[in-house]
């Protein structure tokens, strides 16, 4: 599958590198407002190709996205000192107005995969601007938060994260909800399995895992200014699932008719993803407090997107 990446900054280039090294795409095209940056990133990524699967990596213009099955949108502008979140958001909406129109013209059949932050809001923006069905405008959402939740639970219980089924739902951000009550190890509730192996999930353990998931990006930003490798790998995984029509369950963000009583809201729940984009949604059984937290997260997002001038 040909994959386009618009925005060849840290996140876009990390996604390009992960796609190339995993052999997920046959062709990768990087587009950036800064053409020299796109050329340099494509060349750097291409230099790793002889050590892995065959893939062509190049920089290009929007016209070069023709025939792409998926286009990752990782374009955006950085926050200026003292700039409010809202002002930053309106500048990024302007970036998306250009980018989405250009991508739609060049690659009308592509699924859009949104990575720019705040990802749920930008996914809603791309949905409105593109006029595409919501199943084909997918935000990376809580894909990473879920991966981290599964790996921390797996580490505590001594189980491979692949065998832990647990999801982070709602906003990719402060109001996200760890769906503890629906978490399973194999097919067993994590509480029952924890008792069986003598690794009780105490309030302390729960708080540590919660912070490990919720504060991860803050910790990384403190150390290196931004995050890119994890999300790059997560984006490559989403593309792989689409390209292979895998129908895997991923927690990704799309506009959803109703979540926890909130209508038409763009956030993450576990979803079946395949060649046509999101094929179905799953709603794990949540406890009343988790359901309330999800409703709160949905309300926050809906209020933000309602204020968008689009």
Closer to ligand ADP by CB, 222 or 285: give it.
Answer: 222
- The C-alpha atoms of residue 182 and residue 198 are separated, in whole angstroms, by 20
If the CB atoms of residues 93 and 147 are measured against ligand ADP, the closer one turns out to be: 93
Farthest-apart Cα atoms in the chain, separation: 58
Q: Which of 75, 153, 260, 300 forms a contact with ligand ADP (CB under 6 A)?
A: 75
β-strand pairing of 27-31 with 56-59:
parallel
Point out the catalytic residue in the list 172, 214, 237, 271: 172
Q: Is 172 among the catalytic positions? A: yes
Cβ atoms of 255 and 134 closer than 8 Å: yes
Dist CA 166 CA 151 (whole Å):
10
Confirm if 180 and 216 have CB atoms less than 8 A apart.
no
Is 286 among the residues that bind ligand ADP (CB under 6 A)? no
Q: Which of 1, 5, 6, 185 binds ligand ADP (CB under 6 A)?
A: 6
Q: Which of 172, 82, 160 is CA-nearest to residue 122?
A: 172
Regarding 10 and contact with ligand ADP (CB under 6 A), the answer is yes
Mode of pairing for the β-strands spanning 56-59 and 111-114:
unpaired
Which residue lies nearer to ligand ADP by CB, 112 or 179?
112
Binding mask 35-54 for ligand ADP (x = CB under 6 A): --x-----------------
Does 40 appear as a known binding residue? no
Q: Could you tell me which of 50, 1, 39, 9 has the C-alpha nearest to residue 232?
A: 9
- Of the candidate residues 11, 19, 182, 298, the single one contacting ligand ADP (CB under 6 A): 11
The size of the interface with ligand ADP (CB under 6 A), counted in residues, is: 21
Of the pair 232, 277, the CB lying nearest ligand ADP is at 232
Q: Is 74 in the site for ligand ADP (CB under 6 A)?
A: yes
**Residue 92 annotated as binding?**
yes
**Residue 257: C-alpha distances to residues 29, 260, 263, 280, 285 (Å):** 33, 10, 5, 12, 18
Is 7 annotated as ligand-binding? yes
Q: What are phi and psi of 57, to 5 degrees?
A: -125, 125
Shortest distance, CB of residue 116 to ligand ADP, whole angstroms? 6
Q: What are the φ/ψ torsions at residue 158 (nearest 5 degrees)?
A: 70, 40
Rule CB under 6 A: say whether 12 interacts with ligand ADP. yes
Q: Which of 214, 211, 206 lies closest to 169, judged by CA?
A: 214
**Which of 78, 188, 195, 310 touches ligand ADP by CB under 6 A?**
78
User: How long is the chain?
Assistant: 310
Name the strand (E) or helix (H) holding 191: helix 190-196
Q: Is there a binding annotation on residue 116?
A: yes
DSSP helix/strand/coil, 238: helix
For ligand ADP, the closer CB: 99 or 298: 99
Pick the binder of ligand ADP from 16, 60, 69, 76 (CB under 6 A).
76
Catalytic residue list = 172
Show binding-site residues.
Answer: 7-12, 32, 62, 76-77, 79, 85, 92, 115-120, 140, 145-148, 150, 165, 227
Binding site for ligand ADP (CB under 6 A): 6-12, 32-34, 37, 74-78, 95, 98-99, 226, 228
């Amino acid at each position: 599958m040909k994959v386009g990446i618009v925005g060849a900054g840290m996140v876009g280039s990390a996604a390009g590198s992960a796609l190339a090294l995993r052999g997920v795409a046959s062709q990768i095209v990087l587009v950036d407002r800064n053409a020299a940056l796109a050329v340099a990133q494509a060349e750097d990524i291409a230099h790793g190709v002889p050590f892995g699967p065959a893939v062509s990596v190049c920089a290009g213009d929007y016209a070069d996205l023709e025939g792409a099955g998926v286009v990752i949108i990782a374009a955006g502008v950085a926050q200026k000192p003292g700039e409010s979140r809202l002002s930053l958001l309106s500048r990024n909406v302007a970036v998306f107005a250009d980018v989405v129109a250009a991508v739609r013209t060049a690659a009308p059949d592509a699924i859009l995969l949104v990575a720019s932050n705040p990802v749920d809001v930008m996914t809603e923006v791309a949905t409105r601007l593109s006029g595409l069905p919501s199943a084909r405008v997918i935000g990376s959402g809580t894909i990473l938060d879920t991966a981290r939740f599964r790996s921390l639970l797996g580490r505590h219980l001594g189980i491979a994260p692949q065998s832990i089924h647990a999801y982070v739902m709602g906003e990719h951000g402060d109001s996200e909800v760890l769906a503890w009550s629906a978490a399973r190890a194999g097919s067993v509730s994590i509480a029952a399995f924890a008792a069986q192996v003598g690794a009780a999930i105490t309030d302390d353990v729960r708080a540590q895992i919660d912070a490990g998931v919720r504060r991860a990006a803050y910790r990384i930003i403190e150390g290196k200014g931004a995050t890119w490798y994890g999300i790059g790998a997560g984006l490559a995984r989403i593309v792989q699932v689409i390209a292979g029509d895998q129908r895997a369950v991923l927690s990704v963000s799309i506009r959803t008719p109703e979540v926890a009583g909130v209508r038409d809201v763009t956030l993450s729940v576990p979803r079946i993803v395949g060649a046509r984009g999101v094929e179905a949604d799953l709603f794990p059984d949540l406890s009343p407090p988790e359901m309330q937290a999800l409703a709160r997260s949905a309300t926050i997002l809906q209020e933000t997107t309602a204020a968008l001038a689009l």
